[in-house]
């Protein structure tokens, strides 16, 4: 049977063109999926009803409330414990004992931990700063009329945790607060750079004896 040009054209389309189109769209979809899953993004919200979840303090059960203060706190502790090379903390006021213990534990494993805080709040009621220093965690601050009001941490120079709340149980359980967790380099790197600048500018002196 003679091969017509029409049949040959249809065969070429079926054998060559269609697989190319399928491959193109498959790769395009794969690339998009990889881009969205390459980076971790997460948000946490805290509300004024945090104390309603008080029974979850020591419970490892998953609470169904998205804004469960204790679930969020456990997640923060987990993020701190993920530090294997470095942990940079820039926190205005820090009184949360559970997070302090997690930081000390990470520090004792040999992770490079650096803490920047506000000079006045370092001496605030319930502050964990003396406890961190007792275990040799380097802490820097600067005597100033301005506040060191940041609340962010950088884990392994790769993950940024930033938001509105101080690391206090009041903030976690009684305030409306937010925390954003991201590994997007365009967001992590400027924070890392800013932390380095503050680390150079601030000192390890304890200003409470100098005011």
Report the interface residues with Zn ion, using CB under 5 A: 53, 56, 63, 65, 68
Q: Which is nearer to Zn ion, 63 or 180 (CB)?
A: 63
CA distance 210 to 208: 6
| Antiparallel, parallel or unpaired: β 159-163 and 177-182 | antiparallel
Q: Which is nearer to Zn ion, 55 or 82 (CB)?
A: 55
Query: Taking the CB of residue 165, how many other CB atoms lie within 10 A of it?
Result: 21
Q: Which is nearer to Zn ion, 44 or 137 (CB)?
A: 44
User: Bridge-partner residues for 177, per DSSP?
Assistant: 46
CA distance 61 to 20: 50
Q: Which is nearer to Zn ion, 65 or 133 (CB)?
A: 65
Does residue 151 contact residue 91 with C-beta atoms inside 8 Å? yes
Q: Of 63, 42, 79, 6, nearest to 179 (Cα)?
A: 42
Lookup: tokens for 98? 């559970």
CB of 161 to Zn ion, least distance (A): 20
Q: Which is nearer to Zn ion, 63 or 198 (CB)?
A: 63
Q: Is 70 exposed, middle or buried (0-12, 13-18, 19+ CB in 10 A)?
A: buried
Q: Of 201, 191, 207, nearest to 143 (Cα)?
A: 207
Lookup: tokens for 200? 């150079």
CB of 54 to Zn ion, least distance (A): 9
Q: Which is nearer to Zn ion, 53 or 155 (CB)?
A: 53
CB of 197 to Zn ion, least distance (A): 38
CB of 167 to Zn ion, least distance (A): 19
Return phi, psi of residue 59, to 5°.
-90, 135
CB of 44 to Zn ion, least distance (A): 13
CB of 59 to Zn ion, least distance (A): 8
């Amino acid at each position: 049977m003679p091969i017509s040009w029409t049949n040959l054209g249809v065969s070429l389309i079926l054998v060559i063109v269609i697989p190319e189109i399928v491959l193109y769209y498959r790769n395009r979809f794969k690339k998009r999926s990889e881009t969205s899953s390459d980076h971790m993004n997460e948000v946490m919200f805290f509300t004024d009803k945090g104390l309603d979840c008080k029974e979850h303090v020591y419970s490892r059960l998953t609470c169904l409330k998205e804004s469960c203060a204790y679930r969020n706190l456990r997640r923060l502790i987990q993020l701190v414990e993920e530090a294997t090379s470095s942990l940079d903390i820039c926190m205005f006021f820090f009184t949360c004992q559970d997070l302090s213990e997690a930081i000390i534990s990470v520090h004792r494993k040999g992770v490079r931990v650096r803490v920047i805080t506000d000079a006045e709040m370092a001496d605030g009621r319930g502050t964990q700063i003396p406890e961190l220093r007792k275990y040799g965690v380097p802490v820097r601050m600067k005597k100033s009329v301005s506040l060191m009001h940041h609340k962010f941490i950088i884990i392994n120079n790769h993950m940024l945790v930033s938001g509105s709340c101080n690391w206090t149980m009041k903030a976690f359980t009684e305030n409306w607060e937010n925390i954003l967790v991201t590994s997007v380099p365009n967001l992590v790197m400027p924070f890392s750079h800013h932390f380095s600048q503050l680390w150079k500018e601030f000192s390890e002196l304890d200003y409470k004896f100098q005011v």
